Chains A and B, each alone.
Chain A
């Protein structure tokens, strides 16, 4: 599939060691849809704004995961988990995010437990 869904027009890596421009960012169509969900129907979003948002959200991911990763290193743990992410969000000023995400994480874990205890029946 040669469709370019990233913000960049380049699809070809010069060598395997270089991260392709489009792979650095979340897909622009997905970002655009999430942006539209929060806005009233008459609002429009320029292409450039979606590209700006792609950059911002990738930076957000790096910012949060770096903080969580550093915490794990200090505690000499090898695996970064969901609690570390929630802690990092609070630590970086995103307190409003941390609490709903903790609840989301808890529900996710409960679902995982359910799945483990009740494996799907073979058809």
Chain B
């Protein structure tokens, strides 16, 4: 038998404070994840990553897929980033710079040369990105589904 329960008047106040702490913990961890990938905008995939990596946040795993049906896209992207990280310093800094500043491409012929000398695993991702600047917007469109 489900019996009616009441809440003490102190609970809304207490839960408000608990929610603030929760929101800020999750946000800060998501920001650290975004920053690690050289981004200055916190995206849902950053939040999802934290939820999957943090034990106490496991209760949220069921609600994340509904918000992030395209999460696997970012998983793949991260694998590419990991590949790039295994490359030389120049490749990594070039890619990070490009993502941060689309105009950098126009004055970096030397960097482009270095990229071409990189290994096969790095090149397809980078060349695809460079070949079509609209890919970035396409990614955004995919993310918003």
Contacts and interface: CB of A to CB of B under 8 A. Distances in A.
Interface of A: 26, 31, 34-35, 37-39, 42-46, 48-49, 51-53, 55-57, 59-61, 63-65, 69, 72-73, 78-82, 85-86, 89, 92-94, 97, 100-101, 104-105, 108-109, 112
Contacts of B24: 34-35, 37-38
Given A56-B63, A86-B14, 5 more contacts: A34-B20, A42-B40, A52-B64, A56-B51, A72-B5
Interface residues of B, number: 44
Q: Which 6 A-B pairs have the closest CB atoms?
A: A93-B56, A81-B8, A38-B24, A35-B27, A82-B10, A44-B41
8 contacts: A43-B31, A49-B46, A52-B44, A55-B67, A78-B6, A81-B11, A104-B17, A105-B14
Contacts of B74: none
B7 interface: yes
Contacts of B48: 52
B56 to A, nearest CB: 4
A31 B47 CA distance: 14
Interface string B34-61: 1000001111101110010001100110
Contacts of A26: 19
A38 B28 contact: yes
Contacts of B63: 55-56, 59
A56 B47 contact: yes
B21 interface: yes
A80 B5 contact: yes
B42 A46 contact: yes
Nearest to A68: B11
Nearest to B57: A56
Contacts of A31: 23
